[in-house]
Amino acid sequence: MSVSEMFAALQGALGQDQDIREEIRKVVQALEQTAREILTLLQGVHQGPGFQHIPKKCQKAREHFCTVRTQMESLKTKFPADQYYRFHEHWRFVLQRLVFLAAFVVYLESETLVTREAVAEILGIEADRERGFHLDIEDYLSGVLTLASELARLAVNSVTAGDYSRPLRISAFINELDSGFRLLNLKNDSLRKRYDGLKYDVKKIEEVVYDLSIRGLNKEATVGGGGEK
């Protein structure tokens, strides 16, 4: 094979790779748009009246995840099944965002932490790496850390809305989450930096709870019961 023939073959391979990346980008853009729609919907819970409509907003978000599952099915067909990590960078950010959104919906519904397997089911992908397009553990953990930041914000807005029991429940949840992360030996630099931010979320929520205690509103929250979810 001549030099020109060798480079012609290389150009063909490069062109094929670029075509795959372009097809992936198109689907990822659609996923990002759906994620923005879900986020916009869920942001309504931070406003006063939004607390009364949490079940309805969660139901609407669940409907949007049907679109996510369809888009994920399309994404799976855009690259060779054995090259997940070669193209992973293209969808890593939006997948982490979708994990956060799924985790937020589940928390609003039941005030529990969604499992990686449950998130994978919500998104229409696999939890097991050996079974193909899957939810990487680090992507799951990144999404959960974003949830912690969102709940810190929710704790503050709960007080503004007059819901004094919710910050207490959020505090208990975040402290349990922090204890769980402390069990992990995180090697990933990006994930490690994200985890370092968790202590600020813990501190922010502790300040909210302390303020409630000083004002005597934590007793009112306890007497008033768990409040609406």
Residue ranges covered by each domain of the chain: 1-135, 136-219
What average pLDDT score do residues 8-35 get? 90
- pLDDT recorded at residue 165: 92
- pLDDT recorded at residue 11: 78
Question: Are domains 1-135 and 136-219 of this chain identical in fold?
Answer: yes
Say what percent of the chain tops pLDDT 70. 94
Residue 221 has pLDDT above 70, yes or no: no
What average pLDDT score do residues 44-63 get? 89
Exposed, middle or buried, 121 (CB in 10 Å: 0-12/13-18/19+)?
A: middle
What average pLDDT score do residues 156-160 get? 91
Domain at 136-219: CATH code: 1.20.58.200
Q: Are 61 and 101 in contact (CB under 8 A)?
A: yes
Give the separation between CA 134 and CA 75, rounded to whole angstroms.
Answer: 12
- pLDDT recorded at residue 15: 82
pTM over 0.85? The answer is yes
CATH architecture of 1-135: Up-down Bundle (1.20)
Q: Are 205 and 152 in contact (CB under 8 A)?
A: yes
- pLDDT recorded at residue 168: 94
Q: Are 174 and 224 in contact (CB under 8 A)?
A: no
Alpha helices in the chain (DSSP H): 3-42, 54-76, 84-110, 116-123, 137-160, 166-182, 189-196, 198-214, 217-224
Helix axis angle, 137-160 relative to 116-123, nearest 10°?
Answer: 90
- pLDDT recorded at residue 229: 43
* Residue among 229, 129, 119, 223 at smallest CA distance from 169: 229
Q: Is 109 annotated as belonging to a binding site?
A: no
- pLDDT recorded at residue 227: 45
Phi, psi of 204 (to 5 degrees): -60, -45
